[in-house]
Structure formats: structure tokens, C-alpha cells
């Protein structure tokens, strides 16, 4: 039981970070970022290249990962999303763009990093063992703590800094924020960069445990969509709850249902659909986002 709970916390903290980036982008621009999983994979590969290949210290590699994704996100917003949102008759056209970018990032990953599964050396050796009831490698604990710290840092940024205030205002009402003197174009770009950066950060953290490969992007995006739906689209507390709930469901499901084969995800999907039928806006969301 302790083991299941620990696994749940570990998975939940990773998932919450992925969902945070997605929900931030959605809240600000009303864009469903299909390329989120691919950004996560790029983050993993950048950390792999710098930490695993070039021998740069892990923390530095992580920062490089974040910066790469932040710059990439800012460029994508400035040169692709912003003009398309201005020019299209229907908002949903951005979905096509997001899917196109997902394909593009996939192609770039394939050309630059190849299709092989990549892993990096462990950052900390050894295993935490409490009476054989709770077994957890130290590196997982470190990653989990780092993830929780990043989430707290992100919440503080959103709550107490000027940037965070501007972003929250933008998410609530674009026009009103603009009237109050928020530079909408600039903060949209910053918000998108921040969302992409979060994806890069999780990618960099997780590469030390699960490794990284080209095919991880799509499934990660789907998981992120699910978490955002559980919590409510565009709500930050919702994304965190969604991540934790999905993490725990996965941990419990994998432990309890393992003898029935691969039905954990089927059950999660079905219960999600029933849940959404009863409460369409998710746990924390406003109706119709």
C-alpha cells in the first residue's frame, strides 16, 4: 500500500508538470497544443545530449533544456500562432497549425536525434528501502522533489510576480487586460514560452529515469489532455489535481489490475468519460472554458 501511494505521488508530480504547461497555453491563447508531447521529448533529448553525451552537470543541462524550449515556444508563438489567430475566420484553425507543428517537431527530432531509445547515467545511485514495504530508488525521489519544487516555484511566479499577474489577467479576459495596459502580444509570447519551458523541464527530469525516444510524444500529449480534462481546461489548480489523480489511478491500476492484462488505461478512459458526462467542465473548470 505504501508503495502504491509513493508511486502515485511520484507519477502525479511528473504528470502535473506536463499538464501545467498545456493548460497555461490553453488558458492564454485558447490553443490546444498538440505538440506538447513533442516539446517534452525535445526537452528529454536536449538534456540527454548535454548531460549524457557532453558531460555537462545535470542541473546545467536541465537549464539548457528549459531555455531551448522557451526560445522554441516563443518563436512558434510569434511567427506561427499569433498571425494565424489574427487571420483565420474560426478559432479552431489553430488546431491544424498545432498538429502541423507536432509533425514538424517529430520530423526534426527524427533527423537530429534519431529514432533510438536514449538513456543517461543515473544522477544518484542507491535505493531507499523501508522494511521492504516501500522501495524507491534515490534518483526517483530526487526527481520527484525537484518536480514538486518546480511546481511550487511556478505557482509563486503566477501568484506574486508582475509577469504572473499579467498572465492571469490575460487568461481571465483578453480585452480587459489589454485595456488595463497589459502588452497582450508580448505576454502571449511569454506565456507560450513558459508553457513550452515546463514541457522541456519535465522532459529533462524524466530522461534520467525512463529515457527518451521519438514515439513518446503522442501518448504524452494524450495523457496531458486527459489530466487537463479531469481538472478543467485552463485552470492551474485543476491541472495539478488532474495530474495527481491520473498519477494515483495509474499507480493503483497497475498494482491491482496487473493480472487482468492491459486494461488499466481502458478503465481510466471509461471512467473519465462517465465523469465528464456528469461534470463536463472538470473538477475546477468554468463551464465551456
Partner 1 sequence: MKNLTSKQLVGVGLFLFAVFVAVPVLIRITGRWDFYFTLTSVALLAIASAGVWLTFYIGRINIGQGAFALIGAYVSAILVVKGGVSFWISLPAAGLFAALVAILIGLPILRLRGVYFAMITLVLTQVVTLTALALPITNGAKGISSIPLPSGISIFGVPIIPDFAAMENTKLAFYYAACILMILTYAALYRLVNSRLGHLCRSMQQNEELASSIGVNISYIRIVIFAISSFFGGIGGAMFGSIAQSVYPSSFQVADSVNFMLNCFLGGLGYVFGPMLGTLVLYFGWDLLFELGKYQLLVYSLILIAVIRFLPNGLLSLRLGKGGPK
Residue ranges of alpha helices (H) inside the chain are 2-29, 36-47, 58-76, 82-87, 93-113, 138-160, 162-172, 174-179, 184-206, 217-231, 236-256, 264-278
Contacts of partner 1 in 88-107 (CB under 8 A): 88-90, 92-93, 95-97, 99-101, 103-104, 106-107
Beta bridge partners of 137: 127
Can residue 27 be called a binding residue for partner 1 (CB under 8 A)? no
Decide if 23 contacts 240 (C-beta within 8 A): no
Stretch that binds partner 1, among 12-20, 26-34, 144-152, 180-188 (CB under 8 A): 26-34
Decide if 151 contacts 240 (C-beta within 8 A): yes
Of positions 127, 157, 256, 273, contacts partner 1 by CB under 8 A: 273
Can residue 215 be called a binding residue for partner 1 (CB under 8 A)? no
Can residue 266 be called a binding residue for partner 1 (CB under 8 A)? yes
Decide if 27 contacts 94 (C-beta within 8 A): no
Binding track, positions 135-174, relative to partner 1; x by CB under 8 A: ----------------------------------------
Can residue 233 be called a binding residue for partner 1 (CB under 8 A)? yes
DSSP assignment of 177-188 equals HHHTT--HHHHH
How many angstroms separate the CA atoms of 277 and 1, rounded? 31
Decide if 203 contacts 44 (C-beta within 8 A): yes
CB of 144 to partner 1, least distance (A): 27
Query: For binding to partner 1 (CB under 8 A), which residues are involved?
Result: 26, 30, 32, 34, 80, 83-84, 87-90, 92-93, 95-97, 99-101, 103-104, 106-108, 110-111, 218, 222, 225-226, 228-229, 233, 261-263, 265-266, 269-270, 272-274, 276-277, 280-282, 288-289
Amino acid at each position: 500500500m505504501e508503495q502504491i501511494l509513493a508511486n502515485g505521488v511520484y507519477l502525479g508530480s511528473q504528470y502535473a508538470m506536463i499538464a501545467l504547461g498545456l493548460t497555461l497555453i490553453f488558458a492564454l491563447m485558447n490553443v490546444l497544443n498538440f505538440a506538447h508531447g513533442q516539446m517534452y521529448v525535445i526537452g528529454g533529448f536536449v538534456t540527454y545530449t548535454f548531460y549524457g553525451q557532453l558531460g555537462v552537470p545535470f542541473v546545467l543541462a536541465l537549464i539548457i533544456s528549459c531555455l531551448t524550449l522557451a526560445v522554441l515556444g516563443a518563436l512558434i508563438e510569434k511567427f506561427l500562432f499569433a498571425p494565424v489567430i489574427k487571420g483565420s475566420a474560426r478559432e479552431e484553425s489553430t488546431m491544424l497549425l498545432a498538429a502541423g507543428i507536432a509533425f514538424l517537431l517529430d520530423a526534426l527530432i527524427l533527423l537530429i536525434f534519431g529514432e533510438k531509445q536514449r538513456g543517461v547515467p543515473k544522477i544518484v545511485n542507491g535505493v531507499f528501502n523501508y522494511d521492504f514495504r516501500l522501495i524507491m530508488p534515490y534518483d526517483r525521489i530526487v526527481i520527484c522533489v525537484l518536480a514538486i519544487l518546480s511546481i511550487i516555484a511556478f505557482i509563486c511566479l503566477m501568484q506574486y510576480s508582475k509577469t504572473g499577474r499579467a498572465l492571469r489577467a490575460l487568461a481571465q479576459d483578453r480585452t480587459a487586460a489589454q485595456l488595463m495596459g497589459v502588452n497582450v502580444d508580448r505576454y502571449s509570447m511569454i506565456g507560450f514560452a513558459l508553457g513550452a519551458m515546463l514541457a522541456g523541464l519535465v522532459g529533462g527530469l524524466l530522461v534520467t529515469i525512463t529515457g527518451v525516444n521519438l514515439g513518446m510524444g503522442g501518448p504524452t500529449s494524450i495523457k496531458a489532455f486527459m489530466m487537463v480534462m479531469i481538472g478543467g481546461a485552463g485552470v492551474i489548480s485543476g491541472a495539478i489535481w488532474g495530474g495527481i489523480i491520473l498519477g494515483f489511478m495509474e499507480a493503483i491500476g497497475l498494482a491491482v489490475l496487473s493480472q487482468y492484462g492491459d486494461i488499466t488505461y481502458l478503465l481510466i478512459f471509461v471512467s473519465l468519460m462517465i465523469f465528464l458526462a456528469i461534470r463536463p467542465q472538470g473538477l475546477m473548470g468554468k463551464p465551456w472554458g
